[in-house]
Structure 1
Amino acid sequence: MSGLVWFLVTIALALTLAYTRSKLPVWTLAFAGLLGVNWLISGSFPLIGTIVFLAVAIPLNVTPLRRNLFSRKLLAWFRSVMPPISQTERVALDAGNTWWDADLFTGKPDWNKLLSYPSPQLSDEEQAFVDGPTEALCKMLDDWEITHEKNDLPAATWDFIREKGFFGMIIPKEYGGHGFSALAHSSVVMKVASRSPSAGVTVMVPNSLGPGELLLHYGTDKQKDYYLPRLAKGEEIPCFALTGPHAGSDAGALPDTGIVCKGEHNGKEVLGFRITWDKRYITLAPVATLLGVAFKAYDPDGLLGDKKSLGITLALIPTDTPGVEIGQRHFPLNASFQNGPTRGKDVFVPMEHLIGGQDFIGEGWRMLMNCLSVGRAISLPALGTGAGKISSRTTGAYARVRKQFKTPIGKFEGVEEAMTRIGGYTYRMEAMRRMTAGALDLGEKPSVLSAILKYHCTEGMRQVVNDAMDIHAGKGVMMGPSNYLARTYQSIPISITVEGANILTRGLMIFGQGAIRCHPYLLKEMECVGMEDEEQAVAKFDRALFSHVGFTISNAVRAFVTGLTRGLFIRSPEAGEVSRYYKQFSRMSSAFAFSADVALLLLGGELKRKEKLSARFGDVLSHLYMGSAMLKQFEDQGRPASDLPLVHWACQDSLHTIEDRLNEIFRNFPSPLLGRLVKWVVMPTGSSYRRPTDKLGHEVASLLLTPSAARDRLTRGVFISNDPADPVGKVEYAMERMLAAEPLEARLQKGLGVRLTPNNLEEHLQRGVEEKVIAEQEAEVIRESAKATAAAIAVDELDPERAPEAHAGKTAKQAAKAS
């Protein structure tokens, strides 16, 4: 055989081994076998090939030799470009775990594993709570009264929330709570928030980051036995104070301090802390009876030992403790949930009031990091998804009944384009919400995924509600009891800001933490930087490094081959209409994994300061996860054919976004030449994905305009009323009446040879009845449709002398005291 043939065979063998991720011994045996075959066929010993083979195989396979020749020197270089992980970073990286995000980072996601996870479902008890007390609470809520008249929930609403245990959803039954799953927690918050963002926040905060969750995980038995039943019944209203004027996301800059000292508690001298703090933006602070505080602990007099600086510590302080100050209220835009500052100066707190007791001094940052996933993965995604669902429902109905030029505005292509985004983004948010809640209920604590959900569900909320406001136009901007969109619109920046501002979440957290946490080898390599035992460090680094090299080579080959074939030969777990998306998301997973590795190699520790580049990588990882969630949701729901427009649109939009972000990454690589080279590897045939077509967008928008099973699935779980006296019920009722009346109107117009308008309607109805074109009962259906439509598109007219009553939380405080 010719030299060219052997060269091509060698390349083919290498590509096959890399594509299949064969281990080093397999590579060695395979090439040794190839040399043997060459010898047998050619009849001559391949001297040069054998020398090259041995020169490579021996140093790589003889571990001590490999470590001295390569790993020891590379570890020294790695230490020069990668600084040791700080304690704060270490705690953040150790918080939670990885889940499907780690599979996406491998470049070879196992779809069968994902689809084998059980479909998230509410228990009968949980569903009964959603259908019963949660539905009843929603019916009580009048968001105009809450936000315009009282600036607070009414006293009766506070009583109902406490009585039915809304504050105790995450507290186990043995302590008097409901012990609900993450999915149930999310479902309750979503439904309440779809009715009133202020009420949604009020319900979600005690079940999110705060004293309840911290006590569950870290409290002493005595603390749990005393506080958890009181929290479950609403006898205590909790808040947690972390953010201050000079320290937001930077835990190292926390200025609040506690000094170990002796003081008096219950008539006895005990050991404790004198704590000074200044916190703001604390939800429920104005009505709280129990205050959690994060502070830096110091022991200058050595009362606890030789260590002076003890680290971040968490205390639980009754708000009636002398020295505790609850300031005046903040007013977050026009969302009227309770929020305000709290301060304290040298407040004595005994050791028994530290969360977890004295043993947990200095563990506060770890405790917080391990609990933050609830707010990011459950509460805020529920808020955003609820906004998407109610916007989909109301906007579809409104665009159907509101007419311009004698045509429903939902039929105009410009409006249709916005409605398409509303439907597609809502489907995407719901898929993420359900899949992640299901993972939490399986015992996972995916910290990176919680950041993805927080960012993309709140940004999805921003896009969806903005589109809904555009379609509603004047109806959306005129305030009054009938406006069901404006308060949600005004609350958008709040959700964008809390639990880590979205700019930082996208630029620093998603990929910044994701690359380290989810990468199969990077964290292991980084851990070697600070190891004291040099031989152990070299050994560990050697194992991780050469696995990493094989991993990168494999992803490069997989990305190139799947790019060249457009994913044609990738296996899909099913052969239906969505099988191509499994293939394409797998292909983009390989492209992402390889591109990320090249960027990490090129930039090292500097990558976390390249926030624009990091943000784009984060977008790619996020859309890979969103695509996975949508495919699983479609499978879990039994592959309903009527949902296919939503699946196609959202998956195509995500794939286009992934490719667009990768192109931006390659254009902005620090090394333009390397950027072009990586692009050629992962996109050898150029761009593959296009935005969804207008035809597909029309199909998505049409789902929102007409009652259907797909529309009901998309909007399931939010509060929907058909009561024509209810703000949301008006548009739902009007759409039902209009759809019933339209065939009758068509018959009347054809029979009389006229065109109906609001001005001539009654005249032609009477004539139609007289001439027996329609019956009187049918005329009444048309009249009811016209009346319902007029009510649905009407805006409120308010007394100009009427001003908001600034109760500033007095209602809630009175309700709390009364209990």
Structure 2
Amino acid sequence: MSNVLFAALSALVLIGLVYRAASLFTFTAVVGLVALGFYGLGGLGQTGLIVFAAIYVPVALLLNVAGLRRAVLSAPIFKAFSKALPAMSQTEKDALEAGDTWWEAEMFGGKPEWSKLMNVKFTELTADEKSFLENETEQLCKMVDDWKVSFELKDLPEEVWNFMRKNKFFAMLISKEHGGLGFSPYAQSCVVAKIATRSLTASVTVMVPNSLGPGELIMHYGTDEQKKYWLPRLVDGTEIPCFGLTGPEVGSDASAIPDTGVVVKRKVNGKEELGIMLNFSKRYITLAPVATVVGLAFKLKDPNGLLGDPNKTEYGITCALLEANTPGVDIGRRHYPGAAFMNGPIFGKDVYIPLTSIIGGREMAGKGWRMLVECLSAGRGISLPALSAASGWGMYLATGAYARIRRQFKLPIGKFEGVQEATGKIAGLTYKLEASRILTATACAECAPSVITAMMKFHMTEMMREIILRSMDVHGGRTVILGPRNYLGQAYQAMPVAITVEGANIMTRNLIVFGQGAIRCHPWVLKEMQAAQNPNKAEGLRDFDKAFFGHLGHIVNRAIRALVLGLTGNRLAKSPVSGEMAPYAKAIERRSAALAFTADVAMGVLGGELKRRERLSARLGDVLSHLYMASAVIKYYETNGRNAEELVHAKWALEDSLAEIDKALNEFNRNFPNKAVGRLLSFVAFPFGMGKCKGPSDSLNADAAELLMTRNVFAERLLDKVFVGEGSSDPTGRILEAADKLLSIEPGYSNFLKAVSSGKVVGDGLEAQLKDAVEKRVIDAALAQGIREFEPMRFDAILTDDFSKEYLASAGAIPDVKMNVKPVVEYREAA
């Protein structure tokens, strides 16, 4: 064998070892064997072998003998790292370590173990949960007239409030042990989403007590006494809870809460006790105007050491529970956030509460931030994704129906390419929303995934915004005019609520997703930080040595993986499935490796500066988010049986996410401050040039748009989830009923219209045209009757509301008797 061939084979073996993440000992041993091989082939002389050995042996010992490595290499690095690591407050430490990682950590790690995803079983509804959806939830939706709620009452009717209390809508997350419904996160998501397809106000009212609020905090952290007293009262609706977190000076940066609580001694009923004197100002607090019990986040101080530690005066963020009628508490007037749900400010001046009011008791003093971060998963991972998915469901069905029945230039508007550009996007994004909702709800049932829920809060509400905007484009004036017929206007008005709550989207994307994800999802970074903060320096050095060299190996491995996968066109990547989804799974794995390497290099080059480079870190967060959502689409498609109609939706969603990933990586590399490093990152990620995924093609988008106008398999699945009222009594029901009628008479109806348009069928008005068409055998009598029934339905479905000036001036206080009267129209022509 020639030395050249041996060198080539040796290089392949060494690259293969790195690609397979072989141990340091194995790699070192193979390097030695390669040198001996060259010596045997004559490519390395005796002198050369001695020189090699003089270098190789000390280095091999230094790297592979743990004690020597720690003393010579790791110790000085450990010392420098410990000094460079910025001081971390307990609040920051709690926030960083709060919650769990799940499938997103596999995506971030660069070598996903696909079996972990494919073995996940989507949460299914229990018999009780299914019954609740089909009965109590359905009944609640029937009781709500959203126009009356949003325009006339500015509130839910009293009978609706009572129905929700009686049927435990506010106690879905409270366990059956305490009298609650004990529903899974998936069931809660389904209930919230179904209600949202009828009324955002009702949905938010149900959502809040079942997300971040006293109920969840007490369930997880409350003392036995707190659970025994408060949970039954929350279950039966005796208490309506709210939670005061945000204020005038603090929104997304909740750690900057200015509200204070000072530990004091006070005589109560002649007996001295420890308590807290509170001063606070909160706003944007949902349910505050009707709340009877207030959860409160504040910074606890103990200047006199009354809690037992004279050296500790600042305890940090603490959560407490107090009755709304506590002296000094002032429930302010209402906010009006684009929807009629109850929301408002809360103020407190010198409010005294006993120490037992701290959720979890005095041992939980100062531990509120970790409690809040862990419990935010309910709002971020269940409720807001449910609202977003519900918007997608409703717009998929309603916009598809409208695009089918609304005609311009004698064609359904859904046939025009310009309209299809919007409707195809609605179809694909709705599919991605639903896949992400179900996977994330399942994750919330298995753990408290803090990074996933932040990603989904941002991206799902943004997809909702895109779907609503594109639906408005398609409908035009039909959904600009507000009124009982309008199924989109209220969603459009209230859309900013979801974008803003639970962390404003700009802050979530730029500061939280990657800022938290880079540390929590990385297999080594958090371990390095924890080792550096270990007060036992010997133990810390040992842990740091293991983490640091594991980290180095991780960087090299992911660089080689990304490059090799790129050079081979993903052929060496793994796929958990065969068929249509396999190429997408391989493309995801390659980009996962590219993200892992890119993130490590960025953190190594920029250090703490990366956090301040928000545009850069946000793009890496986008990559992680779309990797997660793309894998969710594959899981959802495979779980639902690989239906051919669904394949179009899945491909659209995957093409879209892969394009977003490539765009984010390209923009990250192009804008990296060190241009040489940026070019290196580009080469590793895309060795044959910039990312090639450009998003769904026109043809794929058109296929999705066409399916949107039919009762395809995905549409039928959505119909099982939404609330649809009966015909003209419900805005969505009206247009869906008309679309269903149209589908029942197609393609004969289109043939009839073509005959009229060409002059083959003539007549003054619809009835004359139908008579002529039957006589000429263009259509039969049964089809003529179907068209005769459809035309009034079609016309009624595209009408908008009009009101008297007295009704509008009175904001609904004066009834408008004509408002809900179905118009009588003489049809002069069919098209």
Tell me the TM-score normalized by structure 1. Answer: 0.95
Moved more, 655-664 or 758-767: 758-767
- Map 1:251-290 onto structure 2 (within 5 A): 251-263=254-266, 265=268, 268-290=271-293
Q: Indicate the residue corresponding to 2:92 in structure 1.
A: 89
Aligned equivalents of 1:758, 1:258: Cα separation in 2: 81
Note the C-alpha offset of 1:382.
0.4
2:497 is aligned with 1:478 = no
Q: What is the aligned counterpart of 2:584 among 581, 586, 610?
A: 581
SS in structure 2 of the partner of residue 688 of structure 1: coil
Q: Indicate the residue corresponding to 1:817 in structure 2.
A: none
Note the C-alpha offset of 1:238.
0.2
Q: What is the aligned counterpart of 1:446 among 444, 449, 460?
A: 449
Given residue 804 of structure 2, which amino acid in structure 1 is its aligned partner? D
CA 1:81/1:806 → structure 2, altered by over 3 Å: closer, same or farther? Answer: farther
2:348 is aligned with 1:344 = yes
Q: Indicate the residue corresponding to 2:653 in structure 1.
A: 650
Q: What is the aligned counterpart of 2:437 among 425, 433, 439?
A: 433
Note the C-alpha offset of 1:13.
2.0
Q: Indicate the residue corresponding to 2:768 in structure 1.
A: 763
Moved more, 265-274 or 147-156: 265-274
SS in structure 2 of the partner of residue 578 of structure 1: helix
SS in structure 1 of the partner of residue 440 of structure 2: helix
Aligned equivalents of 1:807, 1:282: Cα separation in 2: 26
Q: Indicate the residue corresponding to 2:681 in structure 1.
A: 678
Aligned equivalents of 1:757, 1:494: Cα separation in 2: 53
CA 1:757/1:775 → structure 2, altered by over 3 Å: closer, same or farther? Answer: closer
Runs of 4+ in 1 over 6 A off after TM superposition: 750-753, 755-759, 804-808
Q: What is the aligned counterpart of 2:195 among 180, 189, 192?
A: 192
CA 1:804/1:274 → structure 2, altered by over 3 Å: closer, same or farther? Answer: farther
Aligned equivalents of 1:271, 1:756: Cα separation in 2: 90
SS in structure 2 of the partner of residue 280 of structure 1: strand
2:702 is aligned with 1:698 = yes
SS in structure 2 of the partner of residue 577 of structure 1: helix
**For residues 271-311 of structure 1, what are the alpha-carbon distances to aligned partners after superposition, in whole Å with 9 as ceiling and x for unaligned?**
21111111000000000001111111222333222132222
Assess if the C-alpha contact under 8 Å between 1:101 and 1:449 holds in 2: yes
Assess if the C-alpha contact under 8 Å between 1:35 and 1:50 holds in 2: no
CA 1:453/1:80 → structure 2, altered by over 3 Å: closer, same or farther? Answer: same
SS in structure 1 of the partner of residue 727 of structure 2: coil
Note the C-alpha offset of 1:802.
1.4
Assess if the C-alpha contact under 8 Å between 2:763 and 2:769 holds in 1: no
Note the C-alpha offset of 1:73.
2.4
Q: What is the aligned counterpart of 1:122 among 122, 125, 128?
A: 125
**For residues 36-91 of structure 1, what are the alpha-carbon distances to aligned partners after superposition, in whole Å with 9 as ceiling and x for unaligned?**
44444449653344334324312111223322332222223334543133322211
2:302 is aligned with 1:299 = yes
Q: What is the aligned counterpart of 1:229 among 218, 223, 232?
A: 232
Assess if the C-alpha contact under 8 Å between 1:427 and 1:714 holds in 2: no
2:169 is aligned with 1:156 = no
Note the C-alpha offset of 1:749.
5.8
Aligned equivalents of 1:757, 1:693: Cα separation in 2: 41
Moved more, 31-40 or 640-649: 31-40
Given residue 27 of structure 1, which amino acid in structure 2 is its aligned partner? F
Given residue 711 of structure 2, which amino acid in structure 1 is its aligned partner? P
Q: What is the aligned counterpart of 2:407 among 403, 410, 413?
A: 403
Aligned equivalents of 1:406, 1:455: Cα separation in 2: 41
Moved more, 44-53 or 392-401: 44-53
Note the C-alpha offset of 1:799.
1.2
2:12 is aligned with 1:12 = yes
Q: What is the aligned counterpart of 1:738 among 724, 738, 742?
A: 742
Given residue 422 of structure 1, which amino acid in structure 2 is its aligned partner? I
Asked which structure has the greater RCO (Cα within 8 Å, sep 6+), the reply is: 1
Note the C-alpha offset of 1:251.
3.8
Assess if the C-alpha contact under 8 Å between 2:255 and 2:317 holds in 1: no
Aligned equivalents of 1:625, 1:708: Cα separation in 2: 26
CA 1:52/1:493 → structure 2, altered by over 3 Å: closer, same or farther? Answer: same
Assess if the C-alpha contact under 8 Å between 2:133 and 2:191 holds in 1: yes
Aligned equivalents of 2:806, 2:799: Cα separation in 1: 21
Q: Indicate the residue corresponding to 2:536 in structure 1.
A: 533
Moved more, 639-648 or 746-755: 746-755
Q: Indicate the residue corresponding to 1:139 in structure 2.
A: 142
Q: Indicate the residue corresponding to 2:21 in structure 1.
A: 21
Moved more, 295-304 or 723-732: 295-304
2:512 is aligned with 1:504 = no
Q: What is the aligned counterpart of 1:368 among 372, 391, 397?
A: 372
- Map 1:553-632 onto structure 2 (within 5 A): 553-632=556-635
Assess if the C-alpha contact under 8 Å between 2:377 and 2:444 holds in 1: no
Aligned equivalents of 1:661, 1:195: Cα separation in 2: 36
Note the C-alpha offset of 1:430.
0.9
**For residues 306-364 of structure 1, what are the alpha-carbon distances to aligned partners after superposition, in whole Å with 9 as ceiling and x for unaligned?**
1322222211111112221100000002x100000011111111122221122221111
Note the C-alpha offset of 1:776.
4.9
Aligned equivalents of 1:146, 1:84: Cα separation in 2: 51
Given residue 222 of structure 1, which amino acid in structure 2 is its aligned partner? E
Q: Indicate the residue corresponding to 2:714 in structure 1.
A: 710
CA 1:312/1:737 → structure 2, altered by over 3 Å: closer, same or farther? Answer: same
Assess if the C-alpha contact under 8 Å between 2:487 and 2:732 holds in 1: yes
Q: Indicate the residue corresponding to 2:790 in structure 1.
A: 785
Q: Indicate the residue corresponding to 1:323 in structure 2.
A: 328
Q: Indicate the residue corresponding to 1:392 in structure 2.
A: 396
Note the C-alpha offset of 1:803.
3.3
Moved more, 688-697 or 148-157: 688-697
CA 1:433/1:267 → structure 2, altered by over 3 Å: closer, same or farther? Answer: farther
SS in structure 1 of the partner of residue 608 of structure 2: helix
CA 1:268/1:534 → structure 2, altered by over 3 Å: closer, same or farther? Answer: closer
Aligned equivalents of 2:763, 2:715: Cα separation in 1: 30
CA 1:759/1:376 → structure 2, altered by over 3 Å: closer, same or farther? Answer: farther
2:680 is aligned with 1:689 = no
RMSD: 2.1
Q: Indicate the residue corresponding to 1:175 in structure 2.
A: 178
Q: What is the aligned counterpart of 2:801 among 782, 796, 813?
A: 796
Q: Indicate the residue corresponding to 1:811 in structure 2.
A: none
Aligned equivalents of 1:742, 1:100: Cα separation in 2: 45
CA 1:44/1:745 → structure 2, altered by over 3 Å: closer, same or farther? Answer: closer
Q: Indicate the residue corresponding to 2:472 in structure 1.
A: 469
Note the C-alpha offset of 1:801.
1.7
Q: How many residue pairs were aligned?
A: 806
Aligned equivalents of 1:651, 1:768: Cα separation in 2: 47
Q: Indicate the residue corresponding to 1:815 in structure 2.
A: none
Assess if the C-alpha contact under 8 Å between 1:400 and 1:410 holds in 2: yes
CA 1:548/1:707 → structure 2, altered by over 3 Å: closer, same or farther? Answer: same
2:554 is aligned with 1:551 = yes
Unmatched 5+ stretches in structure 2: 814-831
Aligned equivalents of 2:762, 2:492: Cα separation in 1: 33
Aligned equivalents of 2:762, 2:410: Cα separation in 1: 9
Aligned equivalents of 1:640, 1:542: Cα separation in 2: 51
Given residue 17 of structure 2, which amino acid in structure 1 is its aligned partner? L
2:568 is aligned with 1:542 = no
CA 1:96/1:171 → structure 2, altered by over 3 Å: closer, same or farther? Answer: same
Q: Indicate the residue corresponding to 2:817 in structure 1.
A: none
Tell me the TM-score normalized by structure 2. Answer: 0.94
Assess if the C-alpha contact under 8 Å between 1:721 and 1:732 holds in 2: no
Aligned equivalents of 2:804, 2:422: Cα separation in 1: 34
CA 1:267/1:794 → structure 2, altered by over 3 Å: closer, same or farther? Answer: farther
CA 1:57/1:485 → structure 2, altered by over 3 Å: closer, same or farther? Answer: same
Aligned equivalents of 2:172, 2:37: Cα separation in 1: 68
**For residues 157-186 of structure 1, what are the alpha-carbon distances to aligned partners after superposition, in whole Å with 9 as ceiling and x for unaligned?**
111111111001001112111000010011
CA 1:746/1:386 → structure 2, altered by over 3 Å: closer, same or farther? Answer: closer
